[in-house]
Amino acid sequence: MPVFNLNTTTGAVATASDSLYVVGVNAQVLNTVAAFDFATFTNSTLVVNGLVASATSIGVYSSGAAANNHVTITQSGSVIGDTDGIRLAQNAFVSNAGTIMALTDDGIQIDGAGGTVENTGSIQVEDNGVVINGDNGTVLNTGSIIALDRGVFFVGNNPEVINSGTIIGGFGGVDLSFLGAAEISQVSNTGVIQGAQYSIQGGAGNDTVVNSGVLEGDVLLGGGDDTYDGRNGTLNGDVSGGAGNDTFIVDDAATLIVENPGEGTDEVRATVRYILGDNLENLTLLGADDINGRGNGLANVLTGNVGDNVLEGFEGDDSLNGGAGLDSLYGGEGNDSLRGDNEDDYLSGFDGNDTGLGGNGFDEILGGQGDDSLLGQRGQDTLYGGPGDDILHGGHADDSLSGGSGFDTLTGYSGDDTLSGGLNADRFVFSDAGGGFGNDVITDFAATNDAEKIDLSGVASIISFADLSGGHMSQVGADVVIDAGGGNTITLQNVNIGDLDANDFIF
């Protein structure tokens, strides 16, 4: 590769591609137009150890045809432009450990795809710090970028910003607002990004912002399905999701998230106790701590973590899943769906026509005011229907079912279950399915109430009232015992066998 050492007050122009141009520590390249010009040559490198400066134009320049050129500014080097500091074409690479200054325009501008800027030094400009007009641009900053307008500004698909230094824009920190709906961007910050109007502004596509540093100013994610992860970071401002299905990951309940009506289905994932704000639909608790979550007036999906959670649906038709842990779920108003999972959970539907699913633990499930459907599943569960017309299914263990004051349907399934219909006329259902129904007890069957029924249509060994009374039913003390064979019995407490007739049964 040819090497050219530069030291001139009348500027320098590249003379060949695939060449190395060097400005020494004590050397200068000065001009009133572009101080150094790659012209139309490609695949060349300029190393600045000294000073490259233009009094009225650009410090370092290449035309649109001059692709794949590199500029390296060492700690002793400086590039100063009256307009832009550095302006290059596609696939350009700029590495700055020294100083870049632009007195009226941008510090670095790359026009074309594949531009990369690595800054460990200082960029100080009057307009934008770094501008990349092209797809697949990257800015890696561990130094400082200070601009009166925007710190970093992208126009193109798939941009990426990784910052562990300082980016300060008098107007905005990082601007991705010109990105289209099909475009994707990523910003990762462990340093400081600051802007008067915003710290980060997303585009119409899917933006991802990960902040474990400091953001001074609002985060405006814009359109698209965006993700903001603020764990271990500080945000002095709010996060606005905009249109699209957005995800917000937080470890601070004070993080202010702004969404407007009709802007998609949005989710907050929190490692702390969290209450959903307006226009946020879903909440997922993260980690293993015993933390709580609460919904809002929308139809929320609330999901617990592996700890012991309290989830409250509030208003709306909500779906609550406690996950692992000893959870308490409260549906609130609306027609809610509650699921307890594997531990000993407490589920309360409250108002509305609710569905409660207990899981594998010893669960307590309350239906509440509406016409509810409750299923205990595998643990020894306790189910309370409430005042509505409820459907209660015990599951596979020894369960306790209480219908309440409505017209209820109670099914013990397998296990030795205790069934109490409560007020009004109830239906008690038994079946051979699943290996039989066990040794069940009905505590309050009203034999004189013809609307109250024992449903034996799923029991193959008993096909009629004559069959039942002829060999399957007997008086045992104050109770009537129905023996279906195979270790399956039904005990009707405090019932006289003479008060029973065919109207009390369904075959």
What is the model's pLDDT at position 224? Answer: 95
User: How far are the Cα atoms of 275, 364, 394 from residue 367, in angstroms, in the given order?
Assistant: 24, 10, 14
pLDDT digits (tens, 9 = 90+) for 310-328: 999 999 999 999 999 999 9
> What is the average per-residue pLDDT within 69-97?
98
pLDDT digits (tens, 9 = 90+) for 238-286: 999 999 999 999 999 999 999 999 999 999 999 999 999 999 999 999 9
For β-strands 479-485 and 473-476, DSSP reports them as antiparallel
What is the model's pLDDT at position 180? Answer: 82
pLDDT class of 361 with cuts at 50, 70, 90: confident
| Strand (E) or helix (H) holding 470 | helix 465-471
For β-strands 45-48 and 70-73, DSSP reports them as parallel
Supply 7's token pair: 């030291």
Closest alpha carbon to 350 in 317, 307, 393: 317
Q: What's the DSSP call for residue 502?
A: G
- For Cα atoms 121, 127, 132, give the angle at the middle one, nearest 5 degrees: 70
pLDDT class of 409 with cuts at 50, 70, 90: very high
Supply 315's token pair: 């208003």
User: Domain limits of the chain?
Assistant: 1-129
Q: What is the largest CA-CA distance in the chain?
A: 120
What is the model's pLDDT at position 22? Answer: 98
The answer to whether 73 and 48 are in contact (CB under 8 A) is yes
> What is the average per-residue pLDDT within 290-300?
97
pLDDT digits (tens, 9 = 90+) for 42-55: 999 999 999 999 99
pLDDT class of 182 with cuts at 50, 70, 90: confident
pLDDT digits (tens, 9 = 90+) for 99-151: 999 999 999 999 999 999 999 999 999 999 999 999 999 999 999 999 999 99
Residue 489: partners with Cβ closer than 8 Å, 6 or more residues away: 439, 440, 481, 482, 483
Mean pLDDT score across all residues of the chain: 96
- What is 50-109 written as a DSSP string? SEEEESSS-SEE--TT--S-EEEE-TT-EEEESS-SEEEETT-EEEESSEEEESSS-SEE
Beta strands in 213-325 (DSSP E): 214-216, 219-220, 227-229, 234-236, 238-240, 247-250, 256-258, 267-270, 274-275, 282-285, 293-294, 301-303, 310-312, 319-321
What is the model's pLDDT at position 488? Answer: 97
Closest alpha carbon to 111 in 146, 159, 156: 156
What is the model's pLDDT at position 1? Answer: 84
pLDDT digits (tens, 9 = 90+) for 185-213: 999 999 999 999 999 999 999 999 999 99
Q: How far apart are CA 125 and CA 18, in angstroms?
A: 30
pLDDT higher than 90, residue 342 = no
pLDDT higher than 90, residue 379 = no
pLDDT higher than 90, residue 60 = yes
